[in-house]
Amino acid sequence: MSETPRTPGHADAPAASDAPPGIDTRVPHSARIWNYWLGGKDNYPVDREAGEAFRALYPEIVEIARYSRVFLGRAMRYLVEDAGIRQFLDIGTGLPAVETTHQLAQRLAPETRVVYVDNDPLVLAHARALLVGTPEGATDYVDADLRDPDHILKAAAGTLDLSRPVGVMLMGVMGHIPDDEEALAIVRRLMAALPSGSHLTLYDGTDVGEAAHAAQDDYNEGGAVPYILRSRERLARFFDGLELVEPGLVSLPRWRPEIAEPEERDEMNAAGAVARKP
């Protein structure tokens, strides 16, 4: 694989007492748990405990976390090299543990402009310190909630030219919006504001198997922001009115695998796609 995260729980992970002001280390947080599964160090004991409890019920989650980054890398190569996208709006940024959207995009096209969106204080602190773009391009951060697409668009317009095509990235975040109609309305509002040639890249967890449901239910009852699993049919609705890029909505390992990257498996409980606005 092109990305090999470190083993979860390495020695550099901080203790709760090291948390910056305003960070609640008593309740697990999805971005920090995901960071833990990817081998990052920006997590706390409560996150590692929740991550291990989830992993015990559903070991596949660590592999899903890894393939989510592989999918991001493959999608970015397509969007930059084939679709010619030079502007990205990455909503639900999370905490960096491996290569991020702007690093992937600006390596291929240094002039690319990227706006990250999240509303977590820890993510904000890291974004300001670490998400530094190339001199030719630009990288910015918007402190905003996924549920407020109008605010996101208004703030992003300070860095992005919304009259030109934009790549919208919604990577593993729509499960935090449990109501289908509200979730669909958010995606449609974002895409409606962007011109033809813009692209939506989205993946989320799928609701296949008792183990996945058991782990997710246990996680949701632990005090973190709940996350729901959707069927692939429900995920497909996010792409209504858009033109799916081949191979369409598929299990993450099946989205444009590289010949040099033989897949360890074909199916997992996470599906994603890239689609173009006509």
Contact yes or no for 109/80 (Cβ under 8 A): yes
234: number of CA atoms within 13 Å, CB side?
A: 19
Query: Does the pTM of the predicted model rise above 0.85?
Result: no
Residue 188's H or E segment, with its range, is helix 180-192
In sequence order, what are the residues at sequence separation of 6 or more whose Cβ sits closer than 8 angstroms to the Cβ of residue 203?
68, 71, 171, 172, 252, 270, 271, 272, 273
Question: What tens digit of pLDDT does each residue of 66-111 get?
Answer: 898 899 999 999 999 999 999 999 998 777 666 789 889 999 999 9
User: CA–CA separation, 264 vs 273, rounded Å?
Assistant: 20
Question: What tens digit of pLDDT does each residue of 204-248 get?
Answer: 999 876 777 677 776 667 656 778 889 999 999 999 999 999 999
Mean pLDDT of 197-204: 97
